[in-house]
Amino acid sequence: MAITDRVAVVTGAARGLGQEFAVALARLGHRVSGWDIGDLGETADRVAGVGGEFLPLKVDVTEPVQVSAAVDEVVERFGGLQIVVNNAGIYPPIPFEDTTIDDWRRIMRLNLEGPFSVTHAALPHLRAAGWGRVVNVVSAVVFLGPPELVAYTTSKAGLVGFTRALANAVGADGITVNALAPGLTSTDTAVKTTGADGGFERVRARQAIPHTESPADLVSTLEYLCDERSGFLTGQTINVDGGSAFR
């Protein structure tokens, strides 16, 4: 991977995939701002450990005013913004019959409106740079449709549509937009959300690669999507789930 000096925003960066992505981009030489409503201290320590420059910001991506202010702070600190990784999200397993309209709206607001708000605020700066990468973290559930995740699957399928349409809207500006679709990944959030086992054994049984996915398994794909040399790849959903769903 080419080592560059771009400025990246990673949402949901306090733990799990977001933390791993922030560290990976910093290791490549990018200046990184990690956003989360949680404590970003551990992420900051890990970025410092790889010699990276990090700006932690407490941001609720469902609040457009906070998002706009955070983008302004990143640009003021680093002088621009070229990479956006929309990772923040929730995936509560709720049976459809038990899903309330408030549940539905909460999931859509974070998983779908959040990436819209962040990308919308960042886009003028990507355009000004004449170069940009937007990576939307979706999920392999868009190919599988698990019955206990109707609202979550719908939100991530909407994000796939957002990825495809936005890629067409900004391609002429030197900006690519792609989606990264993990399978069930072993993170603290996954274990807390789905229980001690979290269904990992069941998921492993249907994978071609009998290995529980970890955040580190997704890093090389993220780096590829953000790389200088990946400028002809856009509008795509890259499925990285160990062969659970072949697409």
Q: Going along the chain, which residue ranges are E strands?
A: 7-11, 31-36, 54-58, 83-86, 132-137, 175-182, 237-240
Q: Is 152 tagged catalytic?
A: yes
Amino acid, res. 243: G
Cα separation, 228 vs 7, in Å, equals: 13
Q: Taking CA 82 as the corner, what is the angle to CA 6 and CA 86, rounded to the nearest 5 degrees?
A: 115
Hunting for tokens 């010699």 — which residue is that? 51
CA distances 80 to 90, 140, 154, 171, Å, are 29, 32, 33, 19
Secondary structure class of 142 (helix, strand, coil): helix
Nearest-10 crossing angle of helices 16-27, 41-49: 30
Cα separation, 20 vs 43, in Å, equals: 8
Question: Among residues 152, 153, 178, 234, which one is catalytic?
Answer: 152
Catalytic residue list: 152
